[in-house]
Structure 1
């Protein structure tokens, strides 16, 4: 393969990784539901917002980012030198590319979130962390908590 074909191959891999990672970034806000949650009964509780705090939701850490980075880094590294130098370059490029790809994936999929502490009507407190889906909760506001045994969300 010529260097130009290798560069185009590497660019194609990066575009593919970006598309896959954007598809993996599922919403975690109060108004986002997974397909399996449709037509499932949820317990509804009512309460008053006590506090709201901005938090950061870490990004995904799948083998996709590291694998794609390793492939691109290995291809780029193999263009360094000839013979055993190219093999060493490919190995070093793959390691560095894998680390960089994993870091890029985590950074690209990181999201802003909120921690909403609610005083339930029964007097107990519950804190829920969810993606900041545009709903601006304020202390003193009445809200609903929806629970299905595994997922809890705060909504209006």
Structure 2
């Protein structure tokens, strides 16, 4: 019975996953909106890591699974103690898994606009940029992305 509950919990939490962001992917709410286009030249590109905020799903899932697994060991008060230890250990492991899964490679791209201004934009590393390349900066007032 506990195994069925654990599998159901995993299935529910898997539905909370969000698609990866990309400089080349637009969400539906970002379409059909005007963007300001500025031209410039790439000055430099620096590798960075982009960390997504932790949702707590990894910690909760790990704690639930660890608690269920731990409670299967022993009997009576021993079962309760191992369940608590399993929940704490599972929560810590789940937190680390979520933290690692929430990181992706990115670029900090510094662009010298034709106006002479410098701008630095950080975005996922899904498109390569090299110093000296001509690029476009697309801005909607909230977000800016660099494209070829």
Structure 1 and Structure 2 fold alike (TM over 0.5): yes
CA RMSD of aligned residues (A): 1.9
Between the aligned partners of 2:82 and 2:9, the Cα distance in structure 1 is: 19
2:115 maps to which of 114, 119, 122: 122
Structure 2: give runs of 5+ residues left out of the alignment.
Answer: none
TM-score (norm 2): 0.89
Specify which structure has the higher proportion of helix: 1
The offset of 1:96, in angstroms, is 1.4
CA contact under 8 A between 1:59 and 1:105: conserved in structure 2? no
Q: Does 1:77 align with 2:91?
A: no
Q: Does 1:150 align with 2:137?
A: no
Q: Does 1:24 align with 2:22?
A: no
TM-score (norm 1): 0.85
Aligned to 1:52: 45
CA contact under 8 A between 1:117 and 1:127: conserved in structure 2? yes
Matches within 5 A, 1:127-146: 127-133=120-126, 135-146=127-138
- Matched residues, number: 148
Aligned to 2:28: 35
User: 2:128 is paired with a residue of what secondary structure?
Assistant: coil
